Amino acid sequence: MNNQKPPYSELETKMKEAEELIHVLRTQQVDAIVGERHIMLVRLKQAEENLKSSRNQLRTLASYLLSARENERAVIARELHDEFGQALTSLHLGLSWISRKLTPGQRPLQEKIRSLSAITTSLIRSVKNIASELRPGVLDELGLVKTLKSEAREFEGHTGIQCRFKTNTAKARFDRSAAVAIFRIVQAALTNVARHAHASRTRIALMKRKNGLILTVTDNGKGISRRLIHEHDSLGITGMRERALALGGTFTLGGSRRKGTILTVQIPLSRVLMGTAS
Contacting positions for other proteins (CB under 8 A): 17, 20-21, 23-25, 27-34, 36, 39, 41, 43, 45
Least spacing, CB of residue 49 vs other proteins, in Å: 12
How far the first Cα of the chain sits from its last, in Å, is: 87
| Residue 44 Cβ vs other proteins, minimum distance, rounded to whole Å | 10
Please list, in sequence order, all residues whose beta carbon lies within 8 angstroms of the beta carbon of residue 143, skipping any fewer than 6 positions away: 173, 174, 179
Between CA 145 and CA 135 the distance in angstroms is 16
Smallest separation (angstroms) from other proteins to the CB of 51: 17
d(CA 267, CA 265): 7
Instruction: Provide, rounded to whole angstroms, the least separation between the CB of residue 41 and other proteins.
Output: 6
- Residue 14 Cβ vs other proteins, minimum distance, rounded to whole Å: 12
The Cβ of residue 155 has, within 10 Å, a number of other Cβ atoms equal to 22
Nearer to other proteins, 52 or 164 (CB): 52
Q: Which is nearer to other proteins, 37 or 232 (CB)?
A: 37
Rg of the chain taking only CA atoms, in angstroms: 29
Helix intervals (H) in 29-175: 44-79, 85-101, 107-134, 137-141, 144-159
Pick 21 or 68: Cβ nearer other proteins: 21
Q: Which is nearer to other proteins, 20 or 154 (CB)?
A: 20
Task: Write the burial class of residue 170 (CB in 10 Å: 0-12 exposed, 13-18 middle, 19+ buried).
Answer: exposed
Q: How far apart are CA 245 and CA 15, in angstroms?
A: 42
Instruction: Return the number of the residue (26 or 210) whose C-beta is nearest other proteins.
Output: 26
Element (H, E) at 264: strand 260-267
In angstroms, what is the minimal distance from the CB of 1 to other proteins? 19
Smallest gap from Cβ 30 to other proteins, in A, equals 5
Q: Which is nearer to other proteins, 28 or 86 (CB)?
A: 28
Is the distance from CB of 152 to CB of 219 less than 8 angstroms?
no
Reduced to 3 states (helix: H, G, I; strand: E, B; else coil), residue 199 is: coil
Residue placing its CB nearer to other proteins in the complex, 1 or 39? 39
C-alpha–C-alpha distance, residues 61 and 43, integer Å: 27
Q: Chain-centre distance of CA 137, in angstroms?
A: 19
Q: Look up residue 204 and give its amino acid.
A: I
Nearest approach in angstroms of CB 55 to other proteins is 22
In the complex with other proteins, which residue's Cβ is closer, 29 or 252?
A: 29
* Distance (Å, whole) CA 166 – CA 135: 23
